[in-house]
């Protein structure tokens, strides 16, 4: 049944047009018509170009490469749908950049994730769907439901197709160790952990050592996002020093630009596996990058939520939401 027939409308913000189009193919529909204009001084104007009264509206907008512009556009879209009498409004945020700002860890700083949560709710959102929040506890900042999806399952399915022998899963730091353990359980592999330090609020981190046995093993580094590949490359360097053989890396969200991709090319990392939560043509075209699409995962989540069923169904069979034909370079 087409989504229009059951009252669902999928719309895309500027940062997730291709992602929304792929979702709609899985749902058997087309992206709704809307307009976003950015004026010369940076002001953003949005308009809905079709009727949405009493419809269940889903707005797809990643908060990624231009987080401030992306977030403001999302707020304006929510407000426009609210004023157009939509029945419900769900914000699908494949990557939520401000999830990193989850605490007041030093004097006189903003808890950015909480500010964003307040803005979304005040504007009129009814539900959030997102994936692999850097700090999952920020779900508690919302009074509205937050459905948190996991890229681990489709990423692990791709790694399984590589048939990597003598594998070890590596977390770059202690903060991601629990997630790395979940990866390792799915891949039936041991875990090693990097000893990472970061002195300042920047993209420069240093990995001082590795806890665990990696000598003679093929390593798969896992993390939730990368901006410059710095942590991944530092971890790969230390792994080589400790005797690791081939090195792969998996991240859910890739915001890498020119400099990071150049560093990746020169690094010992054989292959970087990412998802398509952030539209990043430069990364998608890189010869060392493989892209695993998670659009089916999000499309299935929309169907399940609309049918008022349990999202745990999504993870009963980790192969259901994986298309190995989407895992190719230059896509």
Q: Which residues are catalytic?
A: 196
Check: CB of residue 81 under 8 Å from CB of residue 118: no
Region of 121 on the Ramachandran plot (φ > 0 left; ψ -120 to 50 alpha; else beta): alpha
* Rounded Cα gap, residues 242 and 219, in angstroms: 11
The residue to which tokens 């400099």 are assigned: 259
Angstrom CA distances, 230 to 77, 133, 243, stand at 35, 20, 20
From CA 33, how far away is CA 84, in angstroms rounded? 14
- The phi, psi pair for 198, rounded to 5°, reads -135, 120
Spatial contact of 166 and 217, defined as CB atoms under 8 Å apart: yes
Q: Which residues of 97-126 are buried (b: 16+ CB within 10 A; e: fewer)?
A: bbbbbbeeeeeeeebbbbebbeebbebbbb
162: nearest Cα among 297, 295, 266, 272:
272
- Distance between CA 266 and CA 273 in Å, rounded? 17
């Amino acid at each position: 049944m087409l989504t229009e027939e059951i009252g669902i409308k999928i719309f895309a913000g500027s940062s997730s047009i291709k992602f929304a189009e792929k979702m709609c193919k899985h749902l058997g529909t087309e992206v709704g018509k809307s307009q976003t204009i950015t004026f010369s001084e940076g002001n953003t104007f949005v308009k809905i170009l079709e009727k949405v009264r009493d419809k269940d509206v889903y707005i797809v907008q990643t908060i990624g490469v231009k987080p401030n512009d992306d977030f403001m556009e999302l707020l304006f879209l929510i407000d426009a749908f609210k004023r157009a009498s939509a029945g419900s409004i769900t914000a699908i945020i494949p990557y939520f950049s401000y999830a990193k700002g989850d605490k007041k860890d030093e004097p006189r700083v903003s808890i950015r994730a909480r500010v964003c949560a307040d803005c979304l709710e005040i504007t009129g959102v009814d539900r959030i769907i997102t994936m692999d929040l850097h700090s999952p506890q920020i779900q508690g900042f919302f009074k509205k439901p937050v459905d948190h999806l996991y890229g681990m399952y489709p990423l692990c399915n791709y790694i399984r197709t590589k048939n990597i022998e003598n594998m070890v899963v590596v977390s770059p730091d202690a903060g991601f160790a629990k997630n790395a353990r979940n990866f390792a359980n799915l891949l039936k592999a041991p875990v090693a952990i990097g000893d990472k330090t970061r002195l300042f609020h920047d993209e420069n981190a240093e990995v001082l050592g590795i806890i665990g046995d990696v000598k003679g093993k093929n390593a798969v580094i896992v993390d939730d996002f990368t901006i410059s590949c710095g942590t991944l490359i530092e971890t790969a360097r230390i792994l080589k020093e400790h005797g690791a053989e081939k090195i792969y890396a998996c991240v859910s969200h890739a915001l890498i630009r020119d400099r990071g991709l150049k560093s990746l090319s020169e690094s010992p990392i054989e292959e970087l596996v990412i998802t398509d939560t952030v539209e990043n043509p430069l990364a998608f075209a890189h010869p060392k990058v493989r892209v695993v699409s998670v659009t089916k995962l999000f499309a299935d989540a929309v169907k399940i939520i609309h049918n008022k069923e349990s999202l745990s169904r999504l993870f009963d069979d980790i192969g259901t939401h994986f298309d190995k034909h989407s895992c190719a370079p230059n896509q």
